[in-house]
A and B are shown apart, each in its own frame.
Chain A
Amino acid sequence: DQQVKQNSPSLSVQEGRISILNCDYTNSMFDYFLWYKKYPAEGPTFLISISSIKDKNEDGRFTVFLNKSAKHLSLHIVPSQPGDSAVYFCAASELSGNTPLVFGKGTRLSVIA
């Protein structure tokens, strides 16, 4: 039973355009959501997060939107750059402390110059 779902295995976007990565979750106890970026031969690196008390969090070119009623979140990257090409994982946890993260399967983003 997958609690965090990323239904798009891959996404291809032109440089300068917007990239939108989607994530759905089923566990209503999740109250903290994160996006990680992973390059080959490296571990996942934290990108941006959002608490369930918010519906939007922005950090430079990256914005995460949370729709609690739909149990859906999305990551927007504007403008997309070739260096953004990586696998993006959506993750969730029930508490904001040292709790295990539940990851989606990831979406491979390719930004084409």
Chain B
Amino acid sequence: DAGVTQSPTHLIKTRGQQVTLRCSPKSGHDTVSWYQQALGQGPQFIFQYYEEEERQRGNFPDRFSGHQFPNYSSELNVNALLLGDSALYLCASSLDGTLAYEQYFGPGTRLTVT
């Protein structure tokens, strides 16, 4: 049983560009959350998708957007990249209504903005 998978593993982009990160949830999970982990910081909640809609959102600008597909996979899009967007982006999946500890994290995508 594959766990949470994310692609790509690493990515280098230039300021002002746009980027799309992808996440496939653990089998049986229907909810996907995205977190940003900057260097030396803990993961910070970006948003959560359930039933193909954004259900909750953290304190991130509108440049950060997402999508969830019918197969529960998800994308994170970031427009007009800034140097400060350089971070590890983590995807976590869960089954709706389950406990907080039942969120499973993927290995992350390391985004570098130059």
Contact = CB atoms under 8 A, between A and B. Distances in A.
Interface in A63-99: 89, 91, 93, 95-99
Contacts, number: 72
Contacts of A105: 40-42
A96 B58 CA distance: 18
Interface residues of B, number: 31
16 contacts: A4-B42, A6-B42, A43-B105, A43-B106, A43-B107, A44-B90, A44-B105, A46-B101, A46-B104, A49-B101, A95-B100, A97-B99, A98-B48, A98-B96, A102-B45, A104-B42
Interface of B: 4, 31, 33, 35, 40-45, 48, 50, 55-56, 58, 90, 92, 94, 96-108
Given A44-B90, A100-B45, 6 more contacts: A32-B100, A34-B100, A34-B101, A46-B102, A98-B50, A98-B97
